[in-house]
Amino acid sequence: MNAPTPALVARPERLRLVGQRRQILALMHQRLMIGMLIYGAVVGFIVLRLVYLAAFGDHAGRKGGALDLAPERGDVVDRDGNSLAVTIDAWTIGIQPAQVIGDKFALAQKLERLMPERDAATYFAMLRSKRKFYYLRRRAAPGLVDAINALGEPGMALSREPDRLYPQTALAAHVLGYTDVDGKGSAGIERAFEDRLSDPAQRGTPLKLSISSPIQQALEHELQAAVNQFSAVGAAGIIMNIHTGEILAMTSLPQLNPNAAGNGTAEARFNRATLGVYELGSTFKPFTVAMAMDAGVVKSMGQMYNCPEALHVAGRTINDTHPFGRACSVAEIMAESSNIGTAQIAMQLGSARQQAFLKKMGFLDKVQVELRERGRTLTPGKNWNLIETLTVGYGHGIAVTPLHLASGYAALFNGGIFRPATLLKVDAGHKAGPGHRVFSEDTSYKMRSLLRLVVTHGTGRKADAPGYRVGGKTGTAEKYHNRSLKVTSFAGVFPMEEPRFVIVAMLDEPKATAETFGFSTAGWNVAPLISRTVSRIAPMLGVRPDKKREPNMAEVLPHLHEKAE
Amino acid sequence: MSARGFKSVFMVGAIAGTALSCYLVSLRVASERAALESVENKIVLAQRDIRLLNTEIGTRGRLAQLERWNVKVIRLSAPSADQFVDSSFQLATLVKPEAKPAIEAPLVYAAAPAPARREPVLTNDDGSATAAPAARSAGEMMHVAGYVKPARPARMDPRVEAEPVAAAAKGPVKAAAKPAPIAAKPAAKPKTAPATKAVKSATADPLGPLPAAKGKAKGSGGASGARPTSTTKDSGSH
């Protein structure tokens, strides 16, 4: 440089230089600072996040999701808590053709060997198709799943899917109903309570039915035995608590396995107890007598009617199987199931009162129960004239479901109060349905001895289960299209001196056998079935057998004038 | 100075220590929580298994299956009305008690003559002296039980006093124990012992025929001294 001369004033370019450098330096500092701050912030954020995770974060090995126990669809249990329908995880075998890597033809052959329901050609066609997925089998057995897994083919899809299982198979099948492939209820309780069973909030708690498994099983077994014995095409049975309207057992035959409902015939899927309507014949007579007593037409069991061999009314002739041919009392009319006598009582009662009573008992509407399968009753409707009144009086010309009959008998013997039938257990969570009075308490009381009389001295003698005081009424009706085919039924109540349960059984087209001496009336086929069933279920229901107890028969026995043969 | 200089170091150390311990606590809590969760998981899985197994058992043991077994093999049927009993008394009437003698020992009446049957009972005790003890015991029992006797003692008083009362009252065993020593001497001498008199008054009248007793006692020489004395009373009754 030059000699050191005191520079009093810096050269302007130099000054500018210094200023520039400073500016640049400041800028660099500023940038460095910003960079450092960003870096620090990132590190700080990471550190904070780590600390937070260490303090409050989840454990690395945490497994979530398994804590949910609620099934996909709510369970259905009987009144004692035994499972009737559960949802379990079942293996499903599928195939994804696009992901198959091995020899497709060899695979098709192996599949045919493992699952012979399709042949190798079909499997091969599936494997070569463009579709993404085929279901091969639902609800596969674990052994088969193992074998499929051992094929080592990634194209085979094994998965677990919720599946509806009915552990008791055919037990109470028509009550429970069944679900379709997608798990939606398509019949019975499954259909009626679809919302309740699939609601996430409620499906954790099982749906408790009023059905009692042992009683249901007893009824089904005895009914099936009778169907086999008398070659009937079908049958229905109901056992009901008359005070609450709870249905303890309800069955319809032929049987249906809800686990494979699609394999059953349409006949098997048909619920005869609630959907089928039948002319139930003489089982209606107690209603007519009770109506007449309530209306004051019949004043005592000893009231006499003229019972000729045949009654000619309005151009029609009414016959009896055991014609009296003399005057007969109400007690005799009931004991011998006289159409002629009952028709006269109905005539005195009149059409209007008869319809009013039937309406109050719900016989003119669909039966009241939770199920959706409810049959429409067939009644004379607008043509309810004199002759219709008479025939309805003894149970012809009106077709109702067996459940109607059970509800009606319950109303007749629980003190006269009609309550809708229910399939849900009556307890704190589910109150019995609202009732309304149909018959007076006095009528209800008097009817006890009258129905007991039918079993001790009348047409229902074979229905007596010794010690259990069964009372009831037989009914035999001819089918409209073929009068040789019959529908036989029995509506019974026990124990008669303090009625608690009603049992209704019906056989559709029973045939005469050698043991019944060629008869196919209710007294010969349904009545013995009632006797067997009652002696089996009554101890389970807490009814104590006692041969010394009887309802008050003093009202009716004196009016049994002569033993009709 | 030095303390103040290290102060910051201590502070840093303390803070680091605190932070570490806090972290350890939270770590511990997290691991406990994880353990709890795994237990809960296991419970849920176990419940799922239970449900599955219950379903399987229910399916295998379904009522229709039980019914089938019953129809084919077991053949149980509903009980008839007569098979129910009303009360425990009615139940008791159905049970016939086992025929069993109320008293094991044979009953001997006071008035009965001493049967030969007595002998075997006593022979069990003493194999050797069968005959003599049998005779004794039978006589003894009759005296104790009988009310007929009191008439005699009035007559026999003097003789009775001579004998030990207690022994007669309580049976052969006692007789053997107590009166033996006393009786041993008096037996030799016909005179009565003064001490025994007071006690005697009530019982043991049958002793009357003393001489016969003596004979018997001598016959059973093998027996101890005590026995002969007791025999004397017993046999005397006859």
Residues B129-151: tens digit of each pLDDT: 444 444 455 555 555 554 555 55
The answer to whether A255 contacts chain B (CB < 8 Å) is: no
The more confidently predicted of residues B201 and B71 is B71
C-alpha A479: how far from its chain's center?
27
Average pLDDT, chain A: 87
How many whole angstroms separate alpha carbon A259 and alpha carbon A240? 26
Q: Which residue of chain B comes nearest to A218, CA vs CA?
A: B67
For A390, the 3-state DSSP assignment is helix
Better-predicted residue by pLDDT, A529 or A62: A529
Q: Do B41 and A213 touch (CB under 8 A)?
A: no
pLDDT one-digit tens code per residue, A2-51: 555 655 666 667 777 788 888 999 999 999 999 999 999 999 999 999 88
pLDDT value at residue A500 = 94
Q: What confidence score (pLDDT) does residue B127 get?
A: 53
A301: domain CATH number? Answer: 3.40.710.10
Residues A174 and A242 in one domain: no
Q: Is the pLDDT of residue A235 over 90?
A: yes
pLDDT at A318 over 70: yes
Distance from CA of A213 to the nearest CA of B (A): 8
Same domain, A197 and A283: no
Report d(CA A73, CA A103) in Å as an integer.
40
Q: Is there a contact between A123 and A112 (Cβ–Cβ < 8 Å)?
A: yes
**Residue among B55, B59, B81 whose CB faces A467 most closely:** B81
A125 contacts A112 by C-beta, under 8 angstroms:
no
Residues of B in contact with A536 (CB under 8 A): 78
Segment A513-547, tens digit of pLDDT? 877 787 878 888 899 999 999 999 998 998 888 88
Number of domains in chain A: 2
Q: In this structure, is residue A179 part of a structural domain?
A: yes
Q: DSSP label at A378?
A: B
Residue A39: inside a domain, yes or no? no
With CB atoms and an 8 Å threshold, state whether A83 touches B64: no
Residue A198 sits at the chain B interface (C-beta within 8 Å)? no
Is the residue at A472 inside a domain? yes
Give domain status of residue A54, yes or no: no
> What's at B200, amino acid-wise?
K
Residues A83 and A231 in one domain: no
Residues A175, A258 within the same domain: no
Structure tokens at B181: 């020593």
Mean pLDDT of A152-170: 87
State whether A295 and A197 are in the same domain: no
3-state helix, strand, coil in chain A (%, to 5): 40, 20, 40
Q: Are A219 and A490 in contact (CB under 8 A)?
A: no
Residues on chain A touching B67 (C-beta within 8 angstroms): 217, 221
Give A466 to chain B, closest Cα distance, Å.
6
Least reliable range by pLDDT among A250-259, A338-347, B64-73, B114-123: B114-123
Tokens of A164: 């509806």
pLDDT digits (tens, 9 = 90+) for B48-98: 889 889 888 988 988 989 999 998 998 888 888 888 888 888 888 888 777
Alpha-carbon distance of A112 to A136, in angstroms, equals 11
**Cα dihedral sign for A459, A460, A464, A468?**
negative
Give me the percent of chain A exceeding a pLDDT of 90. 34
Contact state of B41 with A221 under an 8 Å Cβ cutoff:
no
Task: Judge: A532–B78 Cβ closer than 8 Å, yes or no.
Answer: yes
pLDDT at A4: 59
Q: Is A467 on the interface with B (CB under 8 A)?
A: yes
**In degrees to the nearest 10, what's the CA dihedral of A144, A150, A151, A157?**
60
Chain B CB within 8 Å of residue A214 CB: yes
**Does the beta carbon of A360 lie under 8 angstroms from any beta carbon of chain B?**
no
Q: Is residue B170 scored above 50 in pLDDT?
A: no
Q: Does A503 fall in a domain?
A: yes
| Burial class (CB within 10 angstroms; exposed 0-12, middle 13-18, buried 19+) of A22 | exposed
Mean pLDDT of A457-479: 88
Q: What is the CATH number of the domain that holds A138?
A: 3.90.1310.10
Contact in structure between A227 and A507 (CB atoms under 8 Å): yes
Range of the domain at A163: 76-121+130-150+157-208
Which chain B residues contact residue A216 at CB under 8 A?
A: 63
Is the same domain home to A403 and A465?
yes
- b/e A388-398 (16+ beta carbons within 10 angstroms → b): bbbbbbbbbbb
pLDDT value at position B187?
45
Chain-chain contact of B55 with A55 (C-beta, under 8 angstroms):
no
Give me the residue label for tokens 């003399």: A326
Split at pLDDT 50, 70, 90, the class of B179 is very low
3-state secondary structure labels for all residues of chain B: CHHHHHHHHHHHHHHHHHHHHHHHHHHHHHHHHHHHHHHHHHHHHHHHHHHHHHHHHHHHCCHHHHHHHHHHHHCCCCCCHHHCCCCHHHHHHHCCCCCCCCCCCCCCCCCCCCCCCHHHHHHCCCCCCCHHHHHHHHHHHHHHHCCCCCHHHHHHHHHHHHCCHHHHHHCHHHHHHCHHHHHHHHHHCCCCCHHHHHHHCCCCHHHCCHHHHHHHHHHCCCCCCHHHHHHHHHHHHC
Residues of chain B with Cβ-Cβ distance to A167 below 8 Å are: 55, 58-59, 62
User: Which of these ranges, A319-328, B56-65, B193-202, has the smallest mean pLDDT?
Assistant: B193-202
Q: Are A137 and A224 part of one and the same domain?
A: no
A483 close contact with B: CB closer than 8 A: no
Please indicate whether residue A484 is annotated as part of the active site: no
pLDDT(A213) > 90: yes
Residue A552 has pLDDT above 90, yes or no: no
Q: How far apart are CA B170 and CA B141, in angstroms?
A: 10
| pLDDT classification of B203: cutoffs 50, 70, 90 | low
Select from A208, A229, A244 the last residue of a domain: A208
How high is the pLDDT of residue B149? 54
Residue A11 contacts B, CB cutoff 8 Å: no
CA distances from B161 to B22, B158, B193, B213 (A): 107, 5, 9, 17
**CA–CA separation, A356 vs A343, rounded Å?**
17
The mean per-residue pLDDT over the stretch A178-193 comes to 88
Give the integer Cα–Cα distance in Å for B145 and A22: 146
Nearest CA in chain B to A224: B64
Domain end call among A174, A189, A208: A208
- Segment of A230-244, A370-384, A505-519, B193-207 carrying the highest mean pLDDT: A230-244
For the residues B180-206, what does the mean pLDDT come to? Answer: 48
Identify the pLDDT of residue B192.
47
> Which pLDDT value is given to residue A5?
60
Sequence-distant (6+) residues with CB within 8 A of B105 are: none
Catalytic hit among A210, A252, A282, A531? A282
* B48/A467 CB distance under 8 A: no
Number of A to B CB contacts under 8 A, please give it: 91
DSSP string, A514-531: TTTTT--SHHHHHHHHHH
- pLDDT confidence bin for B237, thresholds 50/70/90: very low
Q: What is the mean pLDDT of residues A404-410?
A: 93
A317 and A434 part of one domain: yes
Residues A136 and A258 in one domain: no
B41 vs A contacts (CB less than 8 Å): 63, 66-67
Q: Evaluate whether residue A24 is within a structural domain.
A: no
Q: B93-110 b/e with 16+ CB inside 10 Å = b? A: eeeeeeeeeeeeeeeeee
Q: Does A165 touch chain B (CB under 8 A)?
A: yes
CB contact under 8 A, A168 and B58: yes
Query: What does the block give as tokens for A410?
Result: 């319950």
d(CA B154, CA B227): 26
Is residue A186 located within the same domain as residue A230? no
**Whether residue A192 is found in the same domain as residue A171:** yes
CB atoms within 10 A of CB B2: 6
Q: Structure tokens of B179?
A: 């009166």
Top pLDDT among B159 and A272 is at A272
Binary contact (B81, A165; C-beta < 8 A):
no
Nearest to B55 among A69, A86, A546 (CB): A86
What's residue B138's pLDDT?
58
Pair (A264, A183) in one structural domain: no
DSSP A105-128: HHHHHHHHHH-TTS-HHHHHHHHH
Domain for residue A8, yes or no? no
Give the B-side interface with A, CB within 8 Å: 22-23, 26-27, 30-31, 33-34, 37-38, 40-41, 44-45, 47-48, 51-52, 54-55, 58-59, 62-64, 67, 78-82, 84, 86
pLDDT at A357: 92
- The answer to whether residue A2 is domain-embedded is no
- What stretch of H or E contains A386? helix A386-393
